[in-house]
Structure 1
Amino acid sequence: MDSAKPSLDLVRSLTDQHVLHALMQHRRLTRAELATMIGISKPTAGESVRRLTERGLVTDTGERTPGGRGKGRVGFYYALAPTVGAALAVTIAPAGVVAECVNIYGEPGVRVTRQIDRPALPARVSAALEDAVAEVRETAGQDFRVAVVGAADPVDRATGRLVQLPDAPFLVGSLDPVAVLAPYVDGPVVVDNDVNWAALAERDGAGAQVLRDFAYMYLGEGLGCAIVNDGEVRRGHTGLAGEVAHLLTLGPGGRAVRFIELFGKLGLRRNGSTAIDVDRLLASPAATHEVLATAVGGVVAAVIALADPQAVLVGGPWGPAVVDNMRAATANMPRHVPIRAAEVTGEPVLAGVRAEALSRLRAEVTADG
């Protein structure tokens, strides 16, 4: 019985995908360079370039290799067409909305920010989001094929809506980023919690084989935790896994207290809000930091018991400041897990969002091939 052979259409499709991937990595290549890089014949490479050019995915750059007078034939350089589109990367946080255009090579382009007044009511946040995205699209002159959003609030994994939980420090009400962005994006709009994106940026920075099972504690105006298992974020049934703000932990005098309520007892909340006053916290005395570290240590103990991470990473504006105290507070725990400051400190949420936006954009373009 003859073994099954791939159809000619399948072979052509795979070849076209390889050509697209090569151009994503190297920007411009001749047909001869594509043939060598992919391991196909020059005529096969030429046919693939022709097909992709006809589909509007590849274009002749107009650049030529030196040729003639013993230097061989002139080579034509090809690149991805500008019309393959771009991705939209967005973060929604107390500091404001950031919207950024990401091209097929992973380079951030036009970036627009909008401040958000407090209290952060859904109508205000929605208006700031739409205004920022509209300006990015107009300035960049690009169509967005996909959008990825990181939001400083719990996210319903089924709908992408932001969910307000009790004592939420940021958004007052619910918001639907998918609906807001749909008129500006041709394809899917993906929304997830900001701490999850920061954790994925940390994973990618360390290498997926190095950091596969860990917890990422975010300590800022709000409190959050991402659980990464086997290299993937675990979001739970509704997407609310890692919402640690209401865990019971140790407060002043050894009394039980909900984690989020501790900051009210210590006088570390912003006026008229449940948001943590980061500046006041960082300027507080060492004794206060010890109380905070003990409370965070109680939360870490619960996370370790349930998630069994290889490490606990601590990020956010004030997280690294209490890492040493956290280690001391958890030194006598039955199970020892390393605790260290997160390494990705330059806009970690946007780094994670941008990487996912690029991955999805490339998948969309490759599928067209």
Structure 2
Amino acid sequence: MFEIRKTRTVAQGRRKLTRERQEYFRLVQQGVSYTEAARLVGINLRTGKRWRNGRNPSGRQKAAPPARPVLPPSGASRYLREADRIYIADRLLEKATVRAIAAELGRSPSTVSREIRRNRHPVNGQYRPFAAQARADDRRPRPKPRKISQDPELRAAVQAGLDERWSPEQICHALRRQFPDRPEMHVVHETVYQALYVQGRGALRRELAGALRTGRARRKPHRQANCRQPRFTDPMVMISDRPAEADDRAVPGHWEGDLIIGKNSGSAIGTLVERSTRYVMLLYLPMDHTAASVRDALTETALRLPPHLKRSLTWDQGSEMAAHHTFTIATDIPVYFCDPASPWQRGSNENTNGLLRQYFPKGTDLSVHSREHLDAVAAQLNGRPRKTLGWETPAERLHKLLAV
């Protein structure tokens, strides 16, 4: 319940009437008259008027903008309505900025700027809301007559460019250079594409679509994310289906794998990291890193592991794992794939790859390293104390697990 303060002093500063101001506008919005609202709040009638209408700067006193209620967005419609245009016109008379008007309407500043530019008076430049609404209504009906189909000269110029096997973008820039002072001869390349693909057969000769470099007579839509072709012939099992025991690293035998690539993608080394112990194994790929080569190297390495260390393998969606199904059949190790652009889902492997770059720098030929050298590098990494293992080495941690 609002109560009028009995004492008011200058020492209270600028915030002395904050509560009164809020209560005053709340009463006005409920339909209370200005006089009655001022009496209930305990302010002078002229103070309420100054709050509503603002004030001009005088002396040390700064200007105050008028208090206006913020209009809600125009519902689900993406078009401005007549009430929005009336509001824009009123605020323009008050010298409000476009960004301020847009914020009050809940619109983008470009929406308000474009509305003013399109629908103001063509001669004096004044923005009249009802005339602007009429112009917008006249412009809205669909379908609209196409610019190319209405102008025979423009249509002939575009067809001549297509006969020369120019792209639509080249045609549009050539028209602007050839007719710099004739806006009716200027089009954008999308207009040409629309004339070829969308509108009826009469705008441009249909066979001219063959002059496009794609050679397509129909526009090819871009695939959505949920409509993409499968990555591999055999379906992938995603990391979300991986056993929960692999996530907490309590049970050994869950591996993460990847390739480190050499100069010009001509050579590679495969890396395997055990999630629980951080034990590293390197795959020798002397010839190439195709799907068959990676599968054979993985199979050879996995068959040397004891059964309780062959629980799962997590890899990214690289093409080198196209033969993952045959690898699983040969080793009985299920393969789980990370989500696209999610290297953090193989964090141990990514960290190990960074450590390996000390031995195999980027931009070098990795095929020069022998199998013995790879084994020596892996042994050195496995003998390095790791903070995440309580300063034990991966080899020590693995030995303890094997002993148990």
Larger Rg: 1 or 2?
A: 2
- Of structures 1 and 2, the one with the larger relative CO (CA 8 A, separation 6+) is 1
TM-score (norm 2): 0.20
| Higher share in helix | 2
